Chain A
C-alpha cells in the first residue's frame, strides 16, 4: 500500500490526460490496491521504471481501461441480488450489464489484451494481469456490496431455509461475476488457459465467501438443512409421523415404496422385500432428493461445500442412523426377528445411496481429478451396517426392561440383542444398563413381591435365550436375588404360587397380581423337562459344548439357570425357610373343608423330586394326617354310635338338635403353629367331643386329643319365625349365634360383654361374630354392642327403627345397602379379631425373648440397646425378627413394669 501510493499518483496523471477524472471516481483504480503477493510484477509500474516507454504503451493503456470499464461490477448493493435470487438471474445480469456483448472497441481491446502481441509487450503476464485484476474486483465488490447484507441475513432470526437463500444469493453473485468472463473473455484464450483462469477466479470467489461467512454459523444451518431433507429421503419421516400412519392405510395399495419395518415384514419373499425399498420411490422422496442435491450443487459451486460440508454431512448421517433405528424398530419385538436384515438392506439401498449421491457433489477440490476416489466403497457400506447393528443393539438395550415386561411377546427383541452381544464390552454394557434400570424401576418398595418374582421369571427366560450359558443372567440376577432375600413375603409368594391351581392345558397362563400361577405351571413343565436328564459338563459326547465365556464371574458356576423353580428356591440359604412356609400354607389349605387334595398332593410329589423326601417329611405327614383322619373319623363315629346309620336318619338327627361331629386329627409335632382362639363351645358339643375323644383313645392307645375349637367349619341351620337360614360358618360364629338360641322368651338381647363372659371369648371376636350375623340379617344391633335376634325381617316401614344404630346410615337407605354396610363392618371386625390373636402370638414369642434378655442382663450386667439386639441376633435360634425400635418399645414396657431400669449411659439393667 505504502509503496504503491506514489505509483497510483503517477498513473492518475497518465490517465487523467486521456479520460475525465469523473470516470476514475466511479471506477476503482485498475490497480489492485489490496493485493500484495500476486500482482506486483504485473502492475503497470513497470512502465515507469522502464527508462524508455514503449511505443504502444498508450494503446495498451487505453485497451486496459476499456476492458476494465467493461468488466467492472456495478456497486448495486445487496438488495437487488437478494430480490432476484429466486429468478434465473438474467434480469439482474442485464441490468448490471453482465450479458451485453462488449462494444466494438472494447472487444478489440479485449482481443488486444489477450492477444499474443500484448503478451509479448507485457512480458508474458498480461492476460493474467487482467484476470487477477478481475479477481480483486470480485473481492472488492463482494466485500463492499454483499458482505454486510449476507452477514445480516445470516444473523436474521428466521432460520428456516436461510441457508438456501444465502446459497441462492451467492450463486447469483457468482453468475454476475463470472458471466462476462465466460461469455467474452474465455473464448479468446487457448483451451488449457481457460480452465486455469476459471479455477483461479472461482478460488478467489470461494476464498472471499468463506472469509465473509463464518463457518461456525453456517454449519448449524447446513445441519438443519441436510437433516430436513435426509429425514424425508431416508424415509424416517414416514416412520415417526403418527398421522401418516392412518393415511397410510388407505393408500396401502398404491404405496409400494416403504422403509417401514412393519411393511417389510409383511412381504413374504426376499425379492419383494428388496423391491419395496428400492423401487417405486415416493414423489415426496424424489422431490426432496432433487431439492437436496440441487442445493448441495449450489453449495459446492459457491465454495461452501468441500471437506467442511462433508463433516457436517457425516454428523447428520450419524444422527439419521440412530434416528432411523429408533423410529423403525422401537417396540417392534415380534419373533422371529428380521430387524437386522431389514436394517442391513436399508443401509445398503437407501442410506448408502444417499451418501454416494451427496458425496459425489461435495467432493473436496483436491480430488476433482480423481472424483471416483470419493465414491463410497463396499467396505464403507459394510462398516455402516455394523454401526447400524450396534445402534440397534443399544436401542434394544435401552428398552430391554420393557421387553422383559412384555415377555414372551417380545422374543424378537432378544434375538436382535443377540446380534449385538458378541463381545465382552457389549455384554457388559447390556448388563450394566439393565441392572441400573432394574434398580430404578423394579427393586423399590413400590413394586409388589409377586411383580418382582414374575419379572424375575421373565428375566430368567429372556436371558436364557440371549445367553444360553447363563453368564449374563448370573450377573444381573445377583441384585434381584439380594433384594428378594430382603423381602419378607418372598417365600410366601413363591409357595402360594406353587400351590396355586394350574391353568388347564391350552389356556394361557395368566398370573393375577397376587398369585404366581405361572409357578404352578412351571413346576409341572419343569418336571417333564427334568425327565430328560442333563449330565451337564460331564457329558463327553456333547458336540455343542462350549467353554464358559471369558467374562464369567470367578464364582460363576454353570447351573441350570433356565430352571425357574430352582432359581427361586435357591434364593434362600436353606431349604428350611422354604419348607416352613410350605407347611404353614399347606396347613391352611388342608384345614379347609374339601373332599380331595389332589392339587396339594401332586405339588408335594413334584417338590419331593427336587428337595428329596426327607426335607418335606413334615408336609408329607400333614397330608397323611388328613387322609388318616378321614378313616379314623369313620371308625370312631361308628364305635361311639355317633354316626347315624342310614342317610335319612342323619337329617332327622340334625332336626333333633344333635349335630354331627367330624374331626381332623393332626399330629401336633408336624404341624406348624396354628393361631387359635380359645372359647367355650356349647355344652352338648363338649359332650360330643368327649365321646369322640374316648373313642379315639380307645382306637389309638397312648394318644390324646386336644380340641382346637377355633378351627373348623359348622353348618348351621337357623329356624326363624319367617325364614330358615342355612350356611356354613366358622366355629366361633356358630358358637355366638348358638348363645342367642331362644329358650323361652321371644326376643333375646345380649351385650358383647355378656357374651364374652359367657363364652370365654375375647370381646373383639364376639363383636366380629355378631356383626357377621348382622350382615346376614339374623341379628340387629341397638344400641351399640347390644344385639337381638331379628325373628321377623322388618318391612320397609319398620326399617328405620330397626336400622342398626351403629352404622349411622340415613333412614332412607334401602335394606340392601344397610346389610352391605354390616357385612363390611363384620369383615373389619373379623380382621380386628385376627389382628388381636396375631398380637397375642407375638406377645408369646416376646416372652421367650424376654427370657433371653433377662439371662443376658443378669449375667452380662447392664447393656445398651444395640448390644442387646446384637446378642439376641446371635443367640436366638432362627434369628431375632424385631428392629431396635420395636425392642426399645418392649423394653420401655418392662421398665414401666419395674422389671428393668435404665442406668447411666442408656444401659438397661435388670431389677433384682
Chain B
C-alpha cells in the first residue's frame, strides 16, 4: 500500500509534465486548424461559388460546419436543397474532414445514413483540398455518380436504366431540413 502510494507520488510529476506537453501541443494544433478554417471561411465569403455555401456551426469552435448544396440544374436533384455536415479533426488539413449528408438523399454513392463514397474524402485526400473544393466535387458527383463503387446498388442500377424512376425516388426520399 505504502509502496504504491510512493510510486504514484514519484511518478506524478512526470505524468503531469507529459499531459502539460500534450496539452500545449494540442492547443497549438487547434490554433493552426482554427486559423486554416478561418482562412477557408474568408475565401468562401469573398469568392462565393454558385450553388454551394458553408458556415461554421453555432458552437463557436469552428471544428464543425454545415454546408448547403443546391441541386445542379439538369440533374434529378435540380432545385433541391441538400445539407451536409463537416467535422474537422485536430490534424486537419492533413486528415480529411468527415462529411455526411444530413438531408436524406437518394444517390448511388451515398448510403441511407448519409455516408458518402468519394475518393478525395478517403485515400485520395490531400492538404490542398478545402471545404470549397470538397463541396464542388460533391456538387458534380450529384450529376455524375460513380456507379463503379456504389453504396446504394439499387440507385446505381436505376440511374443507368430508368432515369424517370430514379428521379421519382430522389423526390420521394428528399425532405427539407430547414424547418427543424
A: residues with CB less than 8 A from B are: 848, 851-852, 854-856, 858-861, 863, 867, 870-871, 874-875, 877, 912
A860 contacts B53, CB within 8 Å?
no
Shortest distance in angstroms between B33's beta carbon and chain A's nearest beta carbon?
Answer: 14
Which residues of A are found within 8 Å of B58, using beta-carbon distances?
860, 863, 867, 870-871
The answer to whether A858 and B45 touch across the interface, beta carbons within 8 angstroms, is no
Query: Which residue in B62, B66, B178, B180 is a CB contact (below 8 Å) of A875?
Result: B62
In the complex the two chains form, what is the Cα distance from A877 to B42 in whole Å?
8
> What's the minimum C-beta distance from B75 to chain A, rounded to whole angstroms?
18
| Most B CB within 10 A of own CB, among A861, A870, A875 | A875
Q: Provide the bound-state CA to CA distance between A160 and B66, in Å.
A: 88
Of B45, B60, B66, B178, which one neighbours A852 at CB under 8 angstroms?
B45
List 5 A-B pairs, minimum CB-CB distance, nearest first. A859-B55, A851-B45, A859-B66, A855-B55, A858-B53
8 Å CB contact of A848 from B45, B62, B65, B67: B45
Contact across chains for B180 and A859 when beta carbons are under 8 A apart = no
Rounded to whole Å, the gap between the CB of B123 and the closest CB of chain A is 28
Known A858-B53, A859-B68: A848·B46 in contact at CB below 8 Å? yes
Query: A855 and B53: CB pair below 8 A?
Result: yes
**A855 lies within 8 A of B54 (CB):** yes
Determine if B107 is an interface residue (Cβ-Cβ < 8 Å): no
User: Given known contacts A856-B55, A859-B66, what 12 new A-B pairs fall within 8 Å (CB)?
Assistant: A848-B45, A855-B48, A858-B55, A859-B53, A860-B57, A860-B58, A860-B66, A861-B178, A861-B180, A871-B58, A874-B62, A875-B38
A907 to chain B, nearest CB (A): 12
Q: How far is the CB of A848 from chain B (nearest CB, A)?
A: 7
In chain B, what residue has the closest Cβ to A851? B45
B67-95 vs A, Cβ < 8 Å mask (1 yes, 0 no) = 11000000000000101000000000000
> In the complex where A859-B53, A861-B178 touch, is A874 in contact with B60 (Cβ < 8 A)?
yes
CB-based contact A859/B38 at 8 Å: no
- The residue in B57, B58, B68 that gathers the most chain A C-beta atoms within 10 A of its C-beta is B58
Q: Are A858 and B68 in contact (CB under 8 A)?
A: yes
Measured CA separation A851–B55 after assembly (Å): 11
Q: Report the tally of A-B residue pairs with Cβ distances under 8 A.
A: 51
The distance in angstroms between the C-alpha atoms of A877 and B62, with both chains bound, is 13
Take A852-B45, A874-B60, A875-B62 as given contacts and tell me if A860 and B55 are in contact as well, using a CB distance cutoff of 8 Å: yes
B43-63 vs A, Cβ < 8 Å mask (1 yes, 0 no): 011101000011111101010
Q: Is B41 an interface residue (CB 8 A)?
A: yes
Q: Which residues of A contact B56 (CB under 8 A)?
A: 871, 874-875
- Whether A875 contacts B48 by the Cβ 8 Å rule is no
Report B10 CB to chain A, min CB distance, Å.
29
Taking CB as reference atom, which chain A residue is nearest B65? Answer: A859
Which residues of the partner chain B approach A912 to less than 8 Å between Cβ atoms? 81
Which residues on B sit within 8 Å (CB–CB) of A854? 53
**Measured between alpha carbons, how far is A860 from B66 in the docked complex, in Å?**
7
| 23 A–B pairs (Cβ distance < 8 Å), ordered by A | A848-B46, A851-B46, A855-B45, A855-B53, A855-B54, A856-B55, A858-B53, A858-B55, A858-B68, A859-B54, A859-B55, A859-B65, A859-B67, A861-B180, A867-B58, A870-B58, A870-B60, A871-B58, A871-B60, A874-B56, A877-B38, A877-B42, A912-B81
A856 to B62, CA, bound (A): 13
Residues of B within 8 A of A (CB): 38, 41-42, 44-46, 48, 53-58, 60, 62, 65-68, 81, 83, 178, 180
Smallest Cβ distance from B160 to chain A, in angstroms?
Answer: 32
Partner pick for A859 among B45, B48, B60, B83, CB 8 A cutoff:
B83
Q: What residues on B are CB-neighbors of A859 within 8 Å?
A: 53-55, 65-68, 83
> In the bound complex, what is the Cα–Cα distance between A861 and B83 (angstroms)?
11
Residue of A nearest to B178 (CB): A861
- The CA of A567 and the CA of B82, in the complex, are separated in Å by 53
A451 to B46 CA separation, bound complex (whole angstroms):
41
**Please, which residues of chain A bring their CB within 8 A of the CB of B83?**
859
B45: chain A residues at CB < 8 Å are 848, 851-852, 855
**A175 CB, nearest partner CB in chain B, Å:** 90
For A861, give the chain B residue with the smallest CB separation.
B178
> Given A851-B46, A859-B68, A861-B180, A875–B41 Cβ distance below 8 Å?
yes
Task: Report A-chain residues with C-beta under 8 Å of the C-beta of B53.
Answer: 854-855, 858-859
The answer for the CA separation of A875 and B56 in the assembled complex, in Å, is 8
Smallest Cβ-Cβ distance to B54: which chain A residue: A859
| B110 CB to nearest chain A CB (Å) | 19
A630 to chain B, nearest CB (A): 35
With a cutoff of 8 Å between Cβ atoms, the chain A residues found around residue B180 in the complex are: 861
Q: Which residues of B contact A852 (CB under 8 A)?
A: 45, 55
* CB closest chain-A residue, reference B86: A859
The CA of A854 and the CA of B65, in the complex, are separated in Å by 15
Cα A662 to Cα B38 with chains together (Å): 42
Residues from chain B with a CB closer than 8 A to the CB of A875 are 38, 41, 55-56, 62
Residues of A with C-beta under 8 A to B44: 855
Nearest B residue to A874 by beta-carbon distance? B60
Instruction: Chain B residues near A851: list those with CB within 8 A.
Output: 45-46, 48
Interface centre among A848, A856, A867, A870 (most CB of B within 10 A): A856
Task: Tell me the smallest distance from the CB of A850 to a CB of chain B, in Å.
Answer: 9
How distant is the Cα of A874 from the Cα of B65 in the complex, in angstroms? 13
The docked-state distance in angstroms from the alpha carbon of A870 to that of B41 is: 16
Closest to A850 in B: B45
- Please, which residues of chain A bring their CB within 8 A of the CB of B46? 848, 851
**Could you tell me the distance in whole angstroms from the C-beta of A893 to the nearest C-beta in chain B?**
19
In the complex formed, the residue of B with least CB distance to A852 is B45
Nearest chain A CB to B135 CB, angstrom units = 11
Q: How far, in angstroms, from A877 to B57 measured CA to CA in the complex?
A: 16
A851 to B81, CA, bound (A): 19
User: Closest Cβ of chain A: how far from B103's Cβ, in Å?
Assistant: 12
Instruction: State A874–B34 Cα separation when bound (angstroms).
Output: 11
Nearest-neighbor residue (CB-CB) of A863 within chain B: B58
- Residues from chain B with a CB closer than 8 A to the CB of A848 are 45-46
Chain B neighbourhood of A861, CB < 8 A: 178, 180
Q: From B61, which residue of chain A is reached at the shortest CB distance?
A: A874
A855 proximity list for chain B (CB < 8 A): 41, 44-45, 48, 53-55
Q: Closest Cβ of chain A: how far from B38's Cβ, in Å? A: 6
Question: Which of B42, B55, B62, B65 has the most A CB atoms < 10 Å from its CB?
Answer: B55
Please indicate the chain B residues that have their CB under 8 angstroms from the CB of A871 in the complex: 56, 58, 60
